Structure 1
Amino acid sequence: MVGGGVGGMVSALLLARSGHEVTLLERLPRLGGKLAEHRRDGFRFSLGPSLLTLPGVFRDLGVGRELVEVRELCRYRFADGSVLTAHRDPDRMAREVERLAPGEGARWLAFHAWARRCLSASARTFFAGPLDRPPRAAHLSDLLAVAPGRTLAGLARRFFRDPRLRQYVNRYATYAGSDPYRAPAALGCVPAIEHDHGAWYVPGGLPRLAGDLAALLAEAGVEVRVSAPVDAIVADRRRVGGVRLADGERIAADVVVANTDAAELYGRLLPDRHRLRRVAALGRSSSAFLLLAGVEGRTEGLAHHSILFSADQRAEFDALFRRRTPSTDPTVYVGCASVDDPSQAPAGTEALTLLVNVPARDPSRWPAPPESYRDLVLERLAERGLDLAGRLRFVDLFTPADLRGRYGAWGGAIYGTAYSGPLSPFRRPANRGPRRGLYLVGGSAHPGGGLPLVAMGGRIVASMVDEDFPTGKAAS
């Protein structure tokens, strides 16, 4: 197992439980991949996912940690100053939508019903297994349930007349690092996940999940080696034979699961120009610019999760995906885990994670340095009602260059490739590699990024290995 992110850990765990001998190699000194945290002066910040959805995916693996359901899914503030509070209960959410935009409450219920049908169809098809295996429980109607040929922005226009609600729907494209004006409508199934299954927080921070999975790996007998960077995957033209570590050590194996960025796999670990070009043709997902702020005092009424929207969403995404430059009027996510977990900051303070979507490219090629963009983001926050002037103890930055350097992410892209076009979900790098015994798992491979999806990918890959190499006939 090359890489100890969530997808790799899940695959390793399930393969060990089914009787395979598994060695997991991670180049960092810890497991968990993007389930990481930053600490400073008693403040703690999650660098990766900010919430957990579909917690049953992890319960089924044996993770028994107690979770906290957040009181509000999210609080959205629009450029005109209006606010939409997203409640888990669909009827309550519809009433909130009706309050914001009279006449749209019933439309939101119709949208949610569509999202449920889309999610059910996706569970039977896209999430059910690898793309090269026909789904066993698919229905003919599943094809129409995902609104084929329609973009997410087109879906928003279909259901809503109010531009603020269209902006709210389009935001779901960023969950996959994509442009809603090009991403498929199927990303609109996310509200069914949030409203039907809830949004959850892990006390102590989401990185605690990595420790839980590591404990399960130990129980299952997986050999884990951290600070063990892999330099190459050893293979001939037909099959893999193991890996070579950076220090020259060779480990023989019949199966190699690459929990790495697909561009890293085909560009360095097992060079393949044809497949690398195919990955490049899909285009990079967006990256992230994080401001990790230690803040004096507590912000009255602040939610755990807030979105402060830009005034012109179309211009914002044009900047990200066409001009490939940070937007001067960005949407800002504000995460305050201190709302539900006082351990994340010293008494009388709060730890704020401010996230802006930016292009996956070196910040040295931005029009202005990251420090200048930090100042712009703080100015935009103040204009939208969250003025942190005089309250900041510090602001630490995390840029696409950090994502690239820490995780080998292609240009700092969070999700590998973007969803661009109606067939883009089916064009992502497949779980089966070009050599016998080579498999891909993680956010850049099928079925995609985000905690539940990479865990599903781990289960998919484990099932493929079990089928191809019955227990006792492979070491991975």
Structure 2
Amino acid sequence: MARVVVVGAGLGGLAAAARLAAGGHRVTVLEQGPEVGGKLGWVSRDGHAFDTGPSLVTLPQVFRDLFDATGDPLDDVLQLERLDPAVAYRFADGTRLAVPGTLDGVREVLGPEWSAFLDRAAEIWRVTEQPFLRSPLRGARTLARLARSSADVRTVAPWASLRKLGAQYLTDPHLRMLLDRYATYSGSDPRLAPAALATVPWVEQAYGSWYVRGGLHRLPLAVADRARERGADVRTSSPVAEVLVEGGRVCGVGLADGGRLAADVVVCNADAAALYGSLLPPGAPVRRARASLAAATPSSSGFVLLLALSGRTPDLAHHTVLFPADYDAEFDGLFTDPRPLPDPTVYVSAPDDPATRPDADSESWFVLVNAPRHGPVDWDAPGLADSYADDVLAVLARRGLDVRDRVRWREVRTPADLERATGSVGGSIYGTSSNGASAAFLRPANASPLRGLYLVGGSSHPGGGLPLVTLSAEIVAGLVGPA
């Protein structure tokens, strides 16, 4: 039995805690905030309630595997509802496109070009799922597994960007824009992100988009409960100040209140840049990991509005995306010349769930626009957050969703707020981006160079998004092994 300390109670940390506790280890989870969940937060006020992180669950089998491995099945604990349509898109030229919630429906509505692209994406998924997404990142050995055959290499096309791959199949500008959006799932630029990200729309459309009844925040709460059932001690309001190192391996953590907690294994669910930048001592033997992080491009962040609205919006989907006329200008403003985007893509999540509203004649909208990190843009500059919130509402109005006279109240959250709430450096949602052919191999590995130290969560391998974060916990549990 190992003494395990998990730093951070985001979904990845909680999933690792549940698996390791089920494997017989003595597990303590330390969360800096007052609640578990990390970026899967929940805000409630005057009967309006909001998930403040992801709005969809994809690849539900990953979560079923987690619950099956640690106790009662997922469906005994949470109610997952398949969304149909999965997403409703609105384009600047007035075109509207509702993407069905089933693969057959997607192929029918999006047509033969998209179907041909999905066939290629399915092949990329076949080649990469096991050797990459479900296995530890081991540098050249990982590349060797991916390159077992020249046919597989041609399928994955590691030299091509997501946009370049899409151009081989898609002539419709709306479909090209729709594909570009999937790069933002990892906070990346489709002009630079690898073609392998074609697996993201494949997974979403082949396995469905799902909602957790009562809000997605119930997912980390359920995983925390499962960890406790297996014997883990989950402590909130317990910030960690440092990871302790002795004799070339971890030996515990130092707490912000001055206390210490000994450990044989430390699993870090904090942002990898924070771990390597400030939680480890300067002389820790992690020079190469720090260099890889320094060479990677940080992911983008997000600017959020929580809108408590009176009245109902006719024919509003659970998830609506409103595109700008010039999508490339958005990516330039995120990565090339960082600035608040004047004409951003706007994402609206508006679940039709009584748990999110005070009465039948009201709505609670989570509104997100991509935004550059805090640092390149000073999101704490006086007046910037409120003035940009007004700008986003004006963009919504120009695109046909004018709710300015229906707002009961609003709450604004900037990348700087995200950094303070989660410890994510600059408010980068996914740690490092997928920009560049080597980006996946610059992402921190689950097994650090320091003995006994492991990483889970969206800033480590295999990446961001709820399924990948949960897979990172499965990988780490396998690396640590049973008691």
**So what's the TM-score if we normalise by structure 2?**
0.92
Q: Which amino acid aligns with 1:356?
A: V
Counterpart position of 1:116 = 122
Q: Does 1:51 align with 2:56?
A: yes
Q: Does 1:355 align with 2:355?
A: no
Rounded Cα–Cα distance in structure 1 between residues aligned with 2:325 and 2:9: 40
- Gaps spanning 5+ residues in structure 1: where? 98-104, 472-476
Residue among 320, 323, 336 paired with 1:322: 336
Deviations 1:186-207 (A, max 9, x none): 1111121112111110111000
Q: Which amino acid aligns with 2:205?
A: H
Change (3 A) 1:279 1:271: farther
Deviations 1:27-63 (A, max 9, x none): 1122111111111111001111101011111112223
Q: Does 1:22 align with 2:27?
A: yes
After TM superposition, the runs of 4+ consecutive aligned structure 1 residues lying more than 4 A away are 133-139, 365-368
Deviation at 1:277, TM superposition (A): 4.2
Alignment of 1:288-367 (within 5 A): 288-337=302-351, 339=352, 341-347=353-359, 348-362=361-375, 364=378
Alignment of 1:126-165 (within 5 A): 126-132=132-138, 134=141, 139-140=148-149, 141-165=151-175
Residue among 57, 69, 79 paired with 1:66: 79
Aligned 8 A contact 2:379 2:416 in 1: no
Aligned 8 A contact 1:111 1:159 in 2: yes
Rounded Cα–Cα distance in structure 2 between residues aligned with 1:333 and 1:18: 40
Deviation at 1:90, TM superposition (A): 3.3
Deviation at 1:365, TM superposition (A): 5.4
Q: Does 1:414 align with 2:429?
A: yes
Rounded Cα–Cα distance in structure 2 between residues aligned with 1:278 and 1:128: 21
Aligned 8 A contact 1:240 1:437 in 2: yes
Aligned 8 A contact 1:265 1:271 in 2: no
Counterpart position of 2:44 = 39
Deviation at 1:237, TM superposition (A): 5.0
Rounded Cα–Cα distance in structure 2 between residues aligned with 1:308 and 1:40: 27
Deviation at 1:281, TM superposition (A): 2.1
Aligned 8 A contact 2:306 2:411 in 1: yes
Rounded Cα–Cα distance in structure 1 between residues aligned with 2:124 and 2:467: 17
Rounded Cα–Cα distance in structure 2 between residues aligned with 1:59 and 1:182: 33
Rounded Cα–Cα distance in structure 1 between residues aligned with 2:57 and 2:169: 27
- Gaps spanning 5+ residues in structure 2: where? 1-5, 68-73
Rounded Cα–Cα distance in structure 1 between residues aligned with 2:471 and 2:103: 26
Q: Does 1:261 align with 2:271?
A: yes
Q: Does 1:454 align with 2:469?
A: yes
Q: Does 1:245 align with 2:255?
A: yes
Aligned 8 A contact 1:326 1:366 in 2: no
| Residue aligned with 1:324, SS | coil
Rounded Cα–Cα distance in structure 2 between residues aligned with 1:31 and 1:356: 25
Aligned residues: 459
Aligned 8 A contact 2:379 2:415 in 1: no
Counterpart position of 2:92 = 79
Rounded Cα–Cα distance in structure 2 between residues aligned with 1:395 and 1:425: 37
Deviation at 1:306, TM superposition (A): 0.7
Counterpart position of 1:173 = 183
Rounded Cα–Cα distance in structure 1 between residues aligned with 2:257 and 2:108: 61
Q: Which amino acid aligns with 1:390?
A: D
Deviations 1:446-471 (A, max 9, x none): 001111100000000111111xxx62
Q: Which amino acid aligns with 2:41?
A: A
